[in-house]
Structure 1
Amino acid sequence: MQAGKLPLEYLETILGGLTSNDPRVALGPAAGEDAALIDMGDKYLVAKTDPITFATDRIGWYAVQVNANDIAVMGAVPKWMMATILLPEGSSEKEIESVIAQLNGACNDIGVSLIGGHTEITYDLPRPIISGVMLGEVEKGKEVRSSGAREGDSIIMTKAIAIEGCSILASEAGSKLIEAGLSQEDVDAGKRLLDNPGISVVRDARISMTAGKITAMHDPTEGGIAGGLRELAMASGLGMQIDQNSIALTNTTRRYCDALSLNPLGLIASGSLLACVSPEDEEAVIGALWREGIAAWKIGEMLRKSFGIKISSSGRTQDLPRFARDEIARFFSS
């Protein structure tokens, strides 16, 4: 297989055969769901693991953000983190200490405790890799699942798409961007996206939950916004209609995708939150996000499954594009 996430339909097939012998597992492996739920009495323990395989710059910081995002979109509070850190032969003590400091600092920033993990120098590894495990908790009845979306729900998206994808390209492929005709200022602009608007959706999720009845949330990552929307549709067993003109793009994203012939709909999308909400609460949720400085728009609605997964632009409606792998994986493999 090619580099990147497993195809969604194949993942659903192999996960469908898994079972749990522990009745406390309220939500186990499922395509489109962001984390597991374990019954701990009056609360659920929420558990997630996610690796960092594309980025190397600020890799420890990245690991905290992407794992915390998946806890937050379950309606939970991120609390504890562990990390397995694999480093190439020849890594210096300074490099190792920098990764640990990034992990610890990023955890402290969001109130998470770094509670352990594993660190090693790994044979024949070309670049650092971190696999994080994040644990959180949520009161029973307040958990949110991707499968909770209902027909007629509005789909809200925060910030803009491909924030993470552009920041990775700027940090890992700046020379390629310049070769493609962009300037050093363009490269620097992509690096700044990592912090502004940023790839964390922890605040986005918390504000949305407070403002209205959220039926489902999802963190679109590898596979881009198109992949995230398909995962949401699969988990909920519904179809959807998306308005492409409502999907925000930064000018930096437009320039990067034009220069490198990438489709922004399929470019890794951490930084955007997808939230499903009843039409009655749509304005309240969007307004609350804007008041807290987080851009948000309605980009579509959940429909019956038989409708399919459609996207409209300039009066034309078609199936939402499918990507065999994330556009960034395609770029780095070319």
Structure 2
Amino acid sequence: MKSGKLPNKILSALLKHVDINDPRVKVGPQVGEDAAAIDIGDKYLLVKTDPITFTSDNLGWYLVNVNINDICTMGGDPKWLLVTLLFNPQTTEKQIKVIFDGIRNSCKKMNISLVGGHTEITPQVNSPIAIGCLLGEVPKNQLIKTSGAKIGDDILITKFIGLEGTSILANDIKSKNLKIDNQIIDNAIHFLYNPGISILPESKIAIDTIEVTSMHDPTEGGLITGLEELALASNKGMEINYAKIPIKQETSIICKKLNLNPLGLISSGSLIITCNPKNTKKLIDKMSESKINISKIGSIKNKNNGLKIYIDGELKKFPKFERDEIAKYFE
């Protein structure tokens, strides 16, 4: 198979055969849901696992934040992290220390407790692989599920799409002669921190400001795959306006040069939010107060409507991304 996340169609078929016999599991494995939710009494325990496979630069910051993001989309408070680190035999002790320190420092900055994990040297990997398992908690009345989107809801997205992917690509091409302005590349590299790949601030603002019907974190496969996952989880359709999708100039320039589509580029740092249209202005105003960019890009429709996007005045089906655009680049 091609590299990248397993296609949703295949994953859905596999998950149909998973039996959950424990009634305490309130949210189990499902395409589009960002974490599991387990009843532990007065709260739900949220559990998420996510790897970093596309880059080893700033690996700790990527690892901590992509796992935090999935807890945040469920309305939760991220708490405890376990990490599995896999290195090939050519890795030096110094290189391992750099990655470990990066994880430790990122946990400290994001107020996460590193509580355990596993580290191994194996010839089965070509570059460092980090897999995080993050646990968090959420009050039972505050749990948000991707499946909660309702017909008529507005669809909003924070910041800009493709931030994570653009940063990774820029870091890889900085030493190549692609005739891209150095300032563009430098700006793109720093997307990792500004606007940043964490959605913790905007998720908290959304939850505290309005009644959110669903939230989702568009990671591998980019915005389009994230929207597909939300539609699949909620059993709904949607219409999106391409002209309203926020894309940084640096992302557009780099993707055009590399013949990649920003709509399918890994997009940690963006948060998809659905809400009743009557709450949209209030949410946009509150985000603006915190200087967080947020854009209304479409609306939730009946499932029979399908997944459509307006491009140049024409309503088309969503483009298909069987894998992330960045996987295509690195192949």
Q: What is the TM-score of this pair, normalised by structure 2? A: 0.98
User: 2:66: which partner in 1?
Assistant: 66
Between the aligned partners of 1:10 and 1:54, the Cα distance in structure 2 is 22
Q: Name 1:208's counterpart in structure 2.
A: 206
For residues 26-68 of structure 1, give each alpha carbon's deviation from its aligned partner in whole angstroms, at most 9, with x where no partner exists. 1110011100000001100000000000011011111000000
Deviation at 1:194, TM superposition (A): 0.6
Q: Residue 127 of structure 2 aligns to which amino acid in structure 1? A: R
Give yes or no for the alignment of 1:77 onto 2:90.
no
* Contact 1:154/1:277, CA 8 A, preserved across alignment: yes
Unaligned runs of 5+ in 2: none
Aligned to 1:7: 7
Tell me the secondary structure at the aligned position of residue 287 of structure 2: helix
Pairing 1:155–2:152 present: no
Q: Give distance in 2, aligned partners of 1:286 and 1:41.
A: 35
Identity among equivalent pairs (%): 45
String of CA shifts for 1:162-193, please: whole Å, max 9, x gaps: 00001111123333xx4332133322121111
> 1:169 and 1:20 mapped to 2: Cα distance?
40
Deviation at 1:327, TM superposition (A): 0.6
Distance in 1 between residues matched to 2:282 and 2:312, nearest whole Å: 28
Which of the residues 211, 218, 222 maps onto 1:224? 222
**After the TM superposition, which residues 283-302 of structure 1 pair with which residues of structure 2 at under 5 Å, given as runs?**
283-302=281-300
Counterpart of 1:29? 29
How many Å separate the matches in 1 of 2:298 and 2:235?
16
Aligned partners of 1:55 and 1:172 also within 8 Å: no
2:120 is aligned to 120
* Mapping of residues 93-132 of structure 1, within 5 Å: 93-132=93-132
Contact 1:89 1:125 in 2 (8 A): no
Q: Distance in 1 between matches of 2:91 and 2:172?
A: 18
C-alpha separation in 2, matches of 1:214 and 1:124:
43
Counterpart secondary structure, 1:226: helix
- Residue in 2 aligned with 1:41? 41
178-187 vs 222-231, which moves further: 178-187
| Aligned partners of 1:35 and 1:70 also within 8 Å | yes
Deviation digits for residues 69-122 of structure 1, max 9, x if unmatched? Answer: 000000000000010011121222221111111111111112110001011111
Deviation at 1:140, TM superposition (A): 0.3
1:263 corresponds to which residue? 261
- Name the CA distance, whole Å, in 2 between partners of 1:294 and 1:116: 34
Once residues 232 and 22 of structure 1 are traced to their aligned partners in structure 2, the CA distance between those partners, rounded to angstroms, is 25
Amino acid across the alignment from 1:115:
V
Q: CA offset at residue 124 of structure 1? A: 3.9
CA contact (8 A) 2:170 2:254 kept: no
Whichever residue aligns with residue 252 of structure 1, its letter is E
1:322 counterpart residue number:
320
Q: C-alpha distance in 1, partners of 2:185/2:126?
A: 24
Moved over 3 A (4+): none
Q: Secondary structure at the match of 2:193?
A: helix
Q: State the distance in 1 between where 2:239 and 2:31 align.
A: 20
Cα separation, 1, equivalents of 2:102 and 2:15? 33
Superposed CA deviations along residues 247-287 of structure 1, whole A, max 9, x for unmatched, are: 01111001101111111001111110000011111111111
- What residue number does 1:137 align with? 137
* Greater alpha carbon shift after TM alignment, 183-192 vs 94-103: 183-192
TM-score in terms of structure 1 length = 0.97
Q: Give, in whole Å, the separation in 2 of the partners of 1:125 and 1:10.
A: 25
CA–CA distance in structure 2, aligned partners of residues 185 and 301 of structure 1: 36
Asked if the contact 2:88/2:126 (under 8 Å) is kept, the reply is yes
Residue of structure 2 aligned with 1:243, choices 226, 237, 241 = 241
Tell me the equivalent position of 1:310: 308
Amino acid paired to 1:167: S
> Cα RMSD (Å) of the superposition?
1.0
Q: Deviations over 1:279-301 (max 9, x none)?
A: 11111111111111110011110
User: In the alignment, which of 194, 208, 214 is matched to residue 196 of structure 1?
Assistant: 194
Aligned residues: 331
Distance 1:220 1:26 in 2: 23
User: Partners of 1:213 and 1:300 in 2: how far apart?
Assistant: 18
State the alpha-carbon separation in 1 of the partners of residues 121 and 184 from structure 2: 35
